[in-house]
Chain A
Amino acid sequence: MTALTTKHPFALIVALTALFLSAVSALAQSNSPLRIEITEGVIEPVPYAIPDFVPENTAGQQYAASIARVVASNLSGTGLLREIPASAHVGRVSSFDSPVQFSDWRAINAQALITGAVAVNGQSITVKFRLFDVVSGQQLGDGLQLDGRTDNWRRMAHRVSDAVYTRLTGESGYFDSRVVFIAESGSRENRRKQVAIMDQDGENVQFITDGAALAFAPRFSPTGDRILFTSYETGFPRITLMDVATRSRQMIGDQPGTMTFAPRFSPDGQSVVYSLSVGGSTNLFLLNLASGQRYQLTDTGAIDTAPSFSPNGQSVVFESDREGTSQLYIMDISTGDTRRISHGQGRYSTPVWSPRGDLIAFTKSSSGRFHIGVMRTDGSNERLLTSSYLDEGPTWAPNGRVIMFTREQAGGDAGLYSVDITGRNLRRVPTPGAASDPSWSPLLP
């Protein structure tokens, strides 16, 4: 990225940050569980305008409007911003470097303005953009230039989106990322389940497995270059490790007469924690991928499953029914010390540690409903974000602000949904067909 100009007006960023903080603190004050009022304290999204980017040569025309549309879709999809449609614009941006006529944008009540330009030379594409605070009439941060290949034009739009999001919220972005998930088809009694990867906005879907063998719960490595999933290729659940680029795969953690599933990478990508079932007991194991060394983490005769590492790699959060119903526990890997963190009514499962380290997202079932919720790592401040016939399997956006999960309507197909950690902005994530078990990648390198 190249800086074009530098100015530091803060009016808009301060306004948005205040908006974020008030939303979070309003929820933090409500300690009572079962707060699923997604509409509670509705925030007014900030109005912004993003005219089609300016094509700086003929070849650039093909992408100029498309890139602006992808950026707008990302930003409006956060629920924090609301686009003022082009049909309402009175001003025009005909040149990327001409001075902005702020009065034109104030006239339609835009508070932010994004301008951009696109030039294409052969396979190369150059995208430039600037972000303006319309109210103060100043540029917000540096203008940026991105250079890449035309077949990556959507990724460049996601990079622009991430930069704008970061400037407006003070948070890191999450748009230039992917999701690995299960694409479902066929009858519900004999479901075909394929591992697939797509961009976080549902574009560029690639099928990773052919669906001949049942597969579920794929997980990205911390750098997004490998995936783990559970496959019935041998007739029994076994963990498969696959390189995303080459599609080369191997079975790991295999022991005759056992079933292995629920794998997740350690934060350094060198180990895998997973469940192994034998003799009716399901325990947690840790496998070093390089040495093949295996360590048994739990041995209780209960069901211990769905482990997820803390970002510092020192602890694992998992679910266990060792005390009756499924509850969440955190184990210190070096000492084995284990403490229960969930204490509410109902069953808790599929805990996932936030990339920020501060929160655990989980599935909770209570009184015949399923919820996605979050709690602090000590179990305090439990908040339920969703409620439906069947919500399960949360995964964190790379910035720890958004959660994606599986929702299955009663008698219907499963689909992917996302929700803000404040419980706002519940949205269906577009997929080619029925889908389940999302796992969000880190921001792409």
Chain B
Amino acid sequence: MRLLTTAILLTAALALAACNNPRSGTSDTDSWGSAGNGIGSTALGDPNDPNSIAYFNQTVGDRVHFTVDQSGLSPEGMATLRQQAVWLNQNPHFAILIEGHADERGTREYNVALGARRANSVQEYLVQQGIGASRIRTVSYGKERPVEACAAQRCWDLNRRAVTVVSR
């Protein structure tokens, strides 16, 4: 009984983690809403399995953050990306989509371009770390998909990010 409760909690935690990243997908549904993009959904797996997507998202770290209007990587961001590169080199059958995001304190079009610039700086860094460019695609969501929406610095800091979404 106790084991079952733990399992339920773990599942709930995974679901919550997935909520931060609606496009990584926990179900069989293709959240892209289109068959033409070649990206399907993938089971997250056991977070204790170092080759699972859940492990990548939670332990390796799937995201880096940026300062206002900037796309340069922080030392912490580079450390995270180096760990991502190690994982990706150990799991060569996974492809990645890098999502660039912006906070809400800018206009819509500029933020799409800024998110593209952020995704690109992550891509360039991962390529430098030996990840094949053919495994990487980038997309920008601008300010359209905040992690958390609030009119405060805390949310803006969370939302200026690039998220590495792993899929098979």
Partner of A350, one of B104, B107, B137, B150: B107
Q: Is B148 part of the contact surface with A, judged by Cβ < 8 Å? A: yes
* A7 close to B (CB within 8 Å): no
A319 proximal to B (CB < 8 A): yes
Shortest beta-carbon distance from B165 to chain A in Å: 11
A278-305 interface bits toward B, Cβ cutoff 8 Å, 1 = contact, 0 = none? 0111100000000000000000000101
Pairwise interchain contact A188-B113, C-beta atoms closer than 8 A: no
Contact B146 A393 (CB under 8 A): no
A280 to B, closest residue via Cβ: B120
How far is A262 from B146 in the complex, measured between Cα atoms in Å? 20
Rounded to whole Å, the gap between the CB of A235 and the closest CB of chain B is 4
Closest to A326 in B: B110
Q: How far is A183 from B58 in the complex, measured between Cα atoms in Å?
A: 35
- Residue pair B151, A217 in contact (C-beta under 8 Å): no
Residues on B with beta carbons closer than 8 Å to the beta carbon of A350: 107-109
Q: A191-B144, A216-B144, A277-B116 are in contact. Are A392 and B37 (CB under 8 A)?
A: no
**In the complex with contacts A280-B116, A390-B104, A275-B109 CB distance below 8 A:** yes
Residue positions of B touching A, CB distance < 8 A: 22, 32-34, 36-37, 39, 69, 71, 104-110, 112-114, 116-117, 119-121, 124, 137, 139-141, 144-151
- Give a binary string over A134-156; 1 marks a CB under 8 Å from any B CB, 0 the rest: 00000000000000000000000
Instruction: Decide if A234 touches B37 in the complex (CB within 8 Å).
Output: yes
Residue A162 is within 8 A (CB to CB) of chain B in the complex: no
Verify if A433 is at the interface (C-beta below 8 Å from B): no
Q: Is A403 in the interface zone, CB < 8 Å from B?
A: no
Supply 12 further A-B pairs (C-beta < 8 A) apart from A189-B149, A277-B116, A390-B104: A188-B146, A189-B145, A214-B141, A217-B109, A235-B34, A259-B112, A262-B109, A275-B109, A277-B113, A280-B117, A306-B110, A392-B107
A233 at the interface (CB under 8 A from B): yes
Residues of chain B within 8 A (CB-CB) of A230 are 112
Residues from chain B with a CB closer than 8 A to the CB of A280 are 71, 116-117, 119-121, 124
**In whole angstroms, what is the CA distance A236 to B32 when docked?**
9
Query: In the complex, which residues of chain A have a beta carbon less than 8 angstroms from the beta carbon of B104?
Result: 390, 408
Task: Given A191-B144, A234-B34, verify A306-B151 contact (CB < 8 Å).
Answer: no
Q: CA A212 – CA B119 in complex, angstroms?
A: 24
Q: Encode contact with B along A168-193: 1 for CB under 8 Å, 0 otherwise.
A: 00000000000000000001111101
Is B113 a contact partner of A189 (Cβ separation < 8 A)?
Answer: no
List, in ascending order, chain B residues with CB within 8 A of A281's CB: 117
A349-B113 contact given A216-B144, A280-B71, A280-B121, CB 8 Å threshold? no
Contact B151 A437 (CB under 8 A): no
